[in-house]
């Protein structure tokens, strides 16, 4: 019977901790992006708030296409594209 050495277990635990921290950092980063988008959407499209329960629904992102943001910064357009992509992937995985 083969028994794993203690160093293998320690290594795996450290790796798991590292991945967990990375995940939490990404979740925090995503939350900040969503807050920024919420503020921008509420300022740019105040009527959307009455139409959908949250601006983070895929259908709400599809209503606000990147073409609607032509006069705005490239960074804002990229953020919206990234969020739409991540929401699409999230919907597909469920």
Q: Given this model, what pLDDT does residue 66 score?
A: 56
Pick from 55, 59, 19: nearest CA to 38:
55
Strand stretches in 5-87, DSSP E: none
Model's pTM, two decimal places?
0.54
Rounded distance, CA 45 to CA 54, Å? 13
Q: What is the pLDDT of residues 63-89, one digit of tens each?
A: 666 555 556 666 666 776 777 777 667
């Amino acid at each position: 019977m083969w028994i794993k050495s203690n160093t293998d277990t320690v290594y795996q635990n450290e790796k798991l901790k590292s991945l967990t921290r990375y995940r939490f950092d990404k979740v925090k980063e995503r939350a900040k992006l969503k807050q920024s988008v919420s503020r921008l959407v509420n300022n740019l499209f105040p009527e959307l708030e009455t139409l959908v329960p949250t601006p983070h629904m895929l259908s709400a992102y599809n209503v606000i296409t990147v073409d609607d943001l032509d006069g705005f910064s490239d960074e804002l357009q990229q953020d919206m594209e990234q969020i739409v992509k991540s929401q699409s992937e999230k919907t597909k995985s469920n």
